[in-house]
């Protein structure tokens, strides 16, 4: 199967490419700034209709997984033109181009389309973003519905894991900090559904292979506070849990508001998919195994 993956140099996109190649797919790895070394690299400006249409028409992928996004929440608040261009407008172009060539489109969206007043949101709950990042991702969802033909909107939450060395994520930041003996302050009053990048990539590939359509929550299967997540991470990697200190949202000088509880209900994915959302303990065990090198020793360099 010919699969085109956008954001191929990122935490999620790079993992999708690697897993797709292992499964024998022909992979086109789309990037803009950071070159990729897996699949067939395609440097592409996703905000240019002519570039997107030309590339899709020439490559003719059977499936597109659109993982590229501007995910810096405060950055989106401060740089709204860029956020709109990358998260909303480029998604419209990808949806239009995918529809023109008959490709199935999987759009990776976010729990931040919700306001966080409820928690454990289902696919049928009404989105109501409270920051510009969430707003642009929701507009991306709307463009997929308007301009796509065969599509799946796959929502995740706090994606973490190894990869994308140019951009640390919550887990790698925490592991690095604690392994260096640094104290960290983590929120006790924000709840999420942490999503391991390998698990998410497996789910997205299954969606593409089976051409599943509709909205699907593809997050981790555990609702937990950021603080609780940090403690589980520290325990899993045998780091000092006493260095993880509690903090509250009111202490953080954010530019953009954050939802208090944007956790996602993944019951639909658990019933529908063979690659099921993992509970946090399962995902962290898998993440630990990914740090083991070919000699069976833990590769500590990955922790830094």
Q: 264: Cβ–Cβ under 8 A, 6 or more apart, which residues?
A: 111, 120, 121, 155, 156, 157, 193, 217, 219
Residue 113 · residue 137 · CB < 8 Å:
yes
C-alpha to C-alpha distance for 136 and 119, rounded to whole angstroms = 21
Longest dimension (CA), the chain: 55
Could you give the angle at which helices 49-59 and 90-101 cross, rounded to 10 degrees?
30
Measure CA of the first residue to CA of the last residue in the chain; give whole Å: 36
Token digits of residue 254: 């954010």
Q: How many CA atoms lie within 13 A of 258 on its CB side?
A: 22
Q: How far is CA 31 from CA 50, 67, 265, 290, in A?
A: 16, 11, 31, 24
Task: Respond yes or no: is residue 28 known to be catalytic.
Answer: no
Q: Among 28, 31, 112, 133, which one carries the catalytic annotation?
A: 133
State the catalytic residues: 133
């Amino acid at each position: 199967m010919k699969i085109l993956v956008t954001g191929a140099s990122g935490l999620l996109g790079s993992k999708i490419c690697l897993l797709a190649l292992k499964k024998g797919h022909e992979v086109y790895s789309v990037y803009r700034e950071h070159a990729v070394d897996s699949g067939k690299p395609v440097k592409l400006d996703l905000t240019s209709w002519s570039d997107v249409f030309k590339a899709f028409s020439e490559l003719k992928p059977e499936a597109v997984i659109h993982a590229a996004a501007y995910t810096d929440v405060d950055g989106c608040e401060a740089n709204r033109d860029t956020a709109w261009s990358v998260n909303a407008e480029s998604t419209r172009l990808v949806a239009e181009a995918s529809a023109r060539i008959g490709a199935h489109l999987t759009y990776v969206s976010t729990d931040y389309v919700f306001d966080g007043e409820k928690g454990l949101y289902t696919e049928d709950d009404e989105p109501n973003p409270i920051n510009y990042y969430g707003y642009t991702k929701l507009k991306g969802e709307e463009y997929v519905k308007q301009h796509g033909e065969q599509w799946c909107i796959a929502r995740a939450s706090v994606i973490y894991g190894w990869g994308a060395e140019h951009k640390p994520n919550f887990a790698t930041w925490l592991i690095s900090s604690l392994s260096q003996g640094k104290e960290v302050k983590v929120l006790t009053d924000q709840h999420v559904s942490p999503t391991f990048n390998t698990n998410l990539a497996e789910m997205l590939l299954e969606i593409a292979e089976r051409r599943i359509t509709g909205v699907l929550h593809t997050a981790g299967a555990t609702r937990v506070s950021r603080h609780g997540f940090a403690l589980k991470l520290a325990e899993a990697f045998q780091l000092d849990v006493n260095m993880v200190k509690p903090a509250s949202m009111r202490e953080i000088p954010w530019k953009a508001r954050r939802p208090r509880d944007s956790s996602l209900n993944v019951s639909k994915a658990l019933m529908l998919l063979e690659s099921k959302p993992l509970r946090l303990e399962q995902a962290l065990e898998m993440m630990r195994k990914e740090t083991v090198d070919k000699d069976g020793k833990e590769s500590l360099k990955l922790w830094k």
